[in-house]
Structure 1
Amino acid sequence: MPNTISDLSTLDLDPVLALNNAHEKETSRLELGTLESMIGGAFYARGVAPAKAFLLCFEETAAYTSPNFIWFKDRYPRFAYIDRIITGKEARGQGLARALYEDMFNHARERGHTVVACEVNADPPNPGSDAFHAKLGFEHVGTATLANGKTVRYLTKTL
C-alpha cells in the first residue's frame, strides 16, 4: 500500500540512512549503528517506505544526550521530543510529514503527553521547516547556539 506509515524497525534502514545523510545540514550525519540505536531508544520511530519520509521522537526519560533534547529536559518535566523529521525531495508536497506528525501526536496523547518539542535551525535558516511548524501550531520558546555553530529555535506544541 503506498504511503503507509510503518515502524522503522520493519523497514530497510540503508535507504533511511541515505535519506538522513542527504539532509545532514538540517539534522546531522548518522552511521547505521547510531540510527539503529536511536530507533531502539525512541518512543516513536516511523516512516514511509521506500525511504520517502521518517520521524524519530523521544520521551523525556530517554537515555539521549543531544544538547537540544537536554535543553528541553532541563525545562519541561514531561514532553515528547522530535529529534528529526525528513522528507525526501521527490516525496515533498504529498502530506507525508504532516501525516507522520499527526500519527506521532496521536501516539503521544495515548502515552499521556501534552507537550511536543522540537528545534528548527535559525542559522543556517530553514524557512520551509519554520512555515511547516507554524501551520501545525508550534510556538517559539527559546534559542541556542550549539557547539557546531548552528543557531536553533526551540519550539513546543500543546496537545
Structure 2
Amino acid sequence: MIRDAAPSDFARILELNSAWEHVTSPLDLASLRHLHDHSASHRVVQVNGDVAAFLLAIGPGMPYDSPNYRYFDVGVSDFVYIDRVVVAREHQRAGLGDALYDDLTAFAHRHGVARLVCEVDIEPHNAASDTFHARRGFVEVGTQPVAGGSKRVSLREWALGTNAPAVPETPGPTEPASR
C-alpha cells in the first residue's frame, strides 16, 4: 500500500536511509522534517504493516541547499526533483521502486508538472540506479562533482509524455511517395 509519509514513519525512514547512505546521502531527523515540510510528495510503501520503501520529492523554489536540487532549481521552472528513493534490502526487486515512481508520475500529471528530475551517482557508479532511471526514460542533461569532489553525478530529466517507442509500431513508407 502506498500512502503519504507521516511523522510516525520518520524513525523507519531514517533507518532505511542509513542502510543506503553510501548511495543516497546522510539524513538526520531535523533534515528529514525540513524536507518533509517542503516536499511536493513524500510517500511510503507499507508491506505487512511496515514501511518497506519511501520516496521524497521536492518542487521548484524550495529552501533546500542540495547542489543537485539547485542545479535544476536555477535552470528549470516546472519540475519535481526526486531527492531520494530507498527500498529495504529485503524488498529489493519486488517492484516497489517502480510503484513509487508510477505514483509520483501520476502526481506530476495531476498537477501539470512537465518533468521529473534526479541525479545518479556515476563516480562511484551506482549501476542499479543508472539502469533503473534509463529504463524509466530519464536522460542525462548534465554532470557535476559533489561531496567535495569525491563523487560525480549524472543529472537526469524525464520530460513526461516523451517516452514513446523509438520505432513506430506501424512502420511508415521508407521512400517518399511518388508525385
Distance in 1, matches of 2:76 and 2:28, equals 30
- State how 1:19-34 maps to structure 2 within 5 Å: 19-34=16-31
Q: Which 4+ runs in 1 deviate beyond 4 A?
A: none
Distance in 2, matches of 1:67 and 1:121, equals 13
| Partner residue in 2 for 1:156 | 157
Aligned counterpart in structure 1 of residue 11 of structure 2, from 10, 14, 32: 14
- State how 1:130-141 maps to structure 2 within 5 Å: 130-141=130-141
Alpha-carbon deviation of 1:11? 4.4
- State how 1:1-150 maps to structure 2 within 5 Å: 4-9=1-6, 11-49=8-46, 50-148=50-148, 149-150=150-151
Distance in 2, matches of 1:7 and 1:40, equals 12
Distance in 1, matches of 2:140 and 2:153, equals 10
Distance in 2, matches of 1:51 and 1:22, equals 14
Distance in 1, matches of 2:120 and 2:100, equals 17
SS in 2 for 1:55: strand
- Paired residue type of 2:65: T
TM-score normalised to structure 2 length: 0.83
Percent identity, please. Answer: 37
Alpha-carbon deviation of 1:10? 5.8
CA radius of gyration, larger in: 2
Alpha-carbon deviation of 1:61? 2.1
SS in 2 for 1:82: strand
Distance in 1, matches of 2:131 and 2:105, equals 18
Alpha-carbon deviation of 1:109? 1.5
Query: Which protein has greater RCO, CA pairs closer than 8 Å, 6+ apart?
Result: 1
Distance in 2, matches of 1:85 and 1:51, equals 13
SS in 2 for 1:53: strand
Structure 1, residues 126-159: CA drift from partner, whole Å, max 9, x if none? 0000110111111111000014321000000011
Q: Measured at CA, do residues 146 and 10 of structure 1 come closer, stay the same or move farther in structure 2, by a change above 3 Å? A: closer
Distance in 2, matches of 1:10 and 1:94, equals 25
RMSD of aligned C-alpha atoms? 1.2
Alpha-carbon deviation of 1:9? 1.4
Distance in 2, matches of 1:137 and 1:78, equals 18
